[in-house]
Structure 1
Amino acid sequence: MNNQLTMFDLGEKNTGTAAINVASVPQRSPFRYPGGKTWLIPTVRQWLKQGQKSVSELIEPFAGGGIVSLTAAFERLADHITMVEMDEEIAAVWEVILSGENKWLADKIFFYDLTIANVKSELEKPDKKLNDLAFCTILKNRIFHGGILAKGSGMIKNGENGKGIASRWYPKTLHDRIIAINYVKDRIGFIRGDAFEVLEQNLNNHKAYFFIDPPYTVAGKRLYTHFDIDHERLFLLAAQLKGKFMLTYDDTKEIRILADKYGLDFRTIPMKTTHHLQKNEIIISDNFSWWTG
């Protein structure tokens, strides 16, 4: 039995590790992504640098805001990156950014006249084409509460300093981030598809590194459209991967039991929520020779 079962006290403290200040990590993604992993980037760097050779391929089956994939591309931590996302809205953004329409989206954001009337008109347009869907997704992500795109979310009312929907709308910053991705897009492939299918297709891909950040068991329903996944099946697949992997989860008894059931080792790591509360998350990996704690 793995020694993690001795740590079932979910109130345990991580030994001497402070939560990362996300302001110290380069912001690459145009998304204000709920559940994003900007805070985990220093740990991801350690993980990707564990081998003697550079990583030939990084696969991110639940791409979401894509901060891990983008960091790997910009910092040349992997020769090629494969992003996978099944959410139609989020996938549209990545498809446009990684295509020849990159500048169109950047300019549309930069020159957009952000008013409630314009936003309502934009979001209510029927039969949106890919470009329009991508823009509306960024729009909603920036003006909805917490950047949440899932059904039931709505526009910010007061926002910071009474700025309302403009509180998180930074057109020049978003423009520049999207244009910057153009310089590394040749290193990135995108699949609009199912994470489980991609993992199954790559079980024997011993050269790949897999960064797996699924919808979490506790907050997933509130944050994501496709929140309902088979968590046990994900653990089963992770245990069969021939390549190296990092699997992230919320720190719950259910997740610890699954890790033990499939013989997977883990470590806890502190993070700060958007409300500046510190909590632990779990990092599950095929090995921890790279871990510095």
Structure 2
Amino acid sequence: MFETNRKRSTQKVVNVASVPQRSPFRYPGGKTWLIPVVRKWLKQSSDNSKTLIEPFAGGGIVSVTAAFEKLAGSIVMVELDPEVAAVWEVIINGDHDWLADKIYSFDLTSENANKILEKKSKSIQEQAFSTILKNRIFHGGIITKGSGLIKNGENGKGIKSRWYPKTLHDRIKGIGYVKEKMRFITGDAFEELKKFKNQKDAYSFIDPPYKAAGKRLYTHFDINHDALFALASQLKGKFMLTYDDTEEIRTLALKHNLDFRTIPMKTTHHIQKNELIISDNFDWWN
């Protein structure tokens, strides 16, 4: 057992602008800021044939970065939310060119956006486009029920404030060049993670909905965190769990005899806070 007050961060706050922006999502709780640390974690083994699994894929920045930077031989992304999953289904398993071109050619007005969003029955491609649209024109990128359109936005640009069709087009096209090593599964994180439980060359990056903010940010926020810690402790391969730094999460780590470190980050409102990194080992940390 270890002391909770002994594990201090030796990391600095990451300048997100220094990290390549690869994901098409502006994702609440996204981990772009953590990429320098994730690189170290993935490089603890020089064998780049390893399998990376991201069971709570969300914006997918870890999987996409690993594909671009050849940090894993195969990559498995899992997402349960049907709206988010539709995007990755189209990009990874389907016709990414269609989505990229649809975004680039779309004439964004409130009227045109509402036509897309209000359509009841959507194909998987239409759902993917609708999700990207919501993610870009809703407050904070939050696509759950209760969120709504940006009104004023940056410099009074309204719903066009975060709509960068050329950038989104290029990001999706870029993923198309590396997706041959990627696989996407619409499914339950627990069930898919269990399939890798005995795989020693598997690296599991586990970024679940956080206890405090999950209800506000995500549709599928209500998970069994105790069961997730128990499952992580059974993994034969490498794993990294990320969480908000709360007494409850520290207690769960202690309960399952899992080591952790604190790491500083800045929120979208430029408030500095600590998060927790929980891992099977920290030989790679410094």
* TM-score normalized by the length of structure 2: 0.98
User: Does residue 211 of structure 1 match 2:205?
Assistant: yes
1:103 to 97, 105, 110: 97
- Give the Cα separation in 2 of the matches to 1:187 and 1:196: 22
Alignment-mate amino acid for residue 138 of structure 1 = I
Report the alpha carbon displacement of residue 53 of structure 1 after superposing the two structures with TM. 2.0
Distance 1:252 1:125 in 2: 41
**Structure 2 stretches lacking a partner, 5+ long:** none
Residues 1:26 and 2:20 are matched in the alignment = yes
Query: How far apart, CA to CA, are the structure 2 residues paired with 1:261 and 1:238?
Result: 12
SS state at 1:95 partner: helix
Aligned position for 2:71: 77
Q: What amino acid sits opposite 1:109 in the alignment?
A: I
Distance 1:83 1:67 in 2: 11
Question: Given residue 146 of structure 1, which amino acid in structure 2 is its aligned partner?
Answer: G
Residue 237 (str. 1) matches residue 256 (str. 2): no
Separation in 2, partners of 1:238, 1:105: 35
8 Å Cα contact 2:9/2:264 also seen in 1: no
Render the CA deviation track for 1:102-145: whole Å, top value 9, x for unaligned.
Answer: 11111110010100011111111121010000000000000000
Cα deviation, residue 234, structure 1: 0.2
* Equivalent pair of 2:54/2:206 in contact (CA under 8 Å): yes
1:159 aligns with 2:148: no
- Work out whether residues 55 and 209 of structure 1, in 8 Å CA contact, stay in contact via their aligned partners in 2: no
Give the structure 1 partner of residue 168 of structure 2: 174
SS at match of 2:171: helix
SS in 2 for 1:64: coil
What's 2:259 paired with?
Answer: 265
* Distance in 1 between residues matched to 2:249 and 2:269, nearest whole Å: 24
Q: Deviations over 1:192-223 (max 9, x none)?
A: 00000012222111110000000000000000
Question: Are the aligned partners of 1:55 and 1:208 in contact in 2 as well (CA < 8 Å)?
Answer: no
Does residue 91 in structure 1 map to residue 88 in structure 2? no
Partner of 2:178: 184
> What is the identity percentage for the equivalent residue pairs of Structure 1 and Structure 2?
69
Cα RMSD for the two superposed structures? 1.2
Rounded to whole Å, the distance in 2 between the matches of 1:16 and 1:205 is 30
User: How far off its partner does 1:82 sit?
Assistant: 0.2
Distance 1:15 1:261, change over 3 A: closer
Alignment partners' CA distance in 1, 2:232 and 2:23:
26
Query: Which one-letter code corresponds to 2:156 in the other structure?
Result: G
Give the aligned partner of residue 11 of structure 1.
Answer: none
Separation in structure 1 between the aligned mates of residue 176 and residue 112 of structure 2, nearest angstrom: 28
CA distance in 1, matches of 2:262, 2:240: 13
Work out the CA distance in 1 between the residues paired with 2:94 and 2:250.
Answer: 44
Structure 1: give runs of 5+ residues left out of the alignment: 9-13
Counterparts of 1:256 and 1:168, CA distance in 2: 36
Q: 2:141 aligns with which of 123, 140, 147?
A: 147
Does the Cα contact within 8 Å between 2:265 and 2:274 map onto a contact in 1? yes
- Residues 1:277 and 2:271 are matched in the alignment: yes
Q: Matched residues in 2 for 1:136 and 1:217: separation? A: 27
Q: 2: distance between equivalents of 1:143 and 1:118? A: 12
Assess if the C-alpha contact under 8 Å between 2:67 and 2:178 holds in 1. Answer: yes
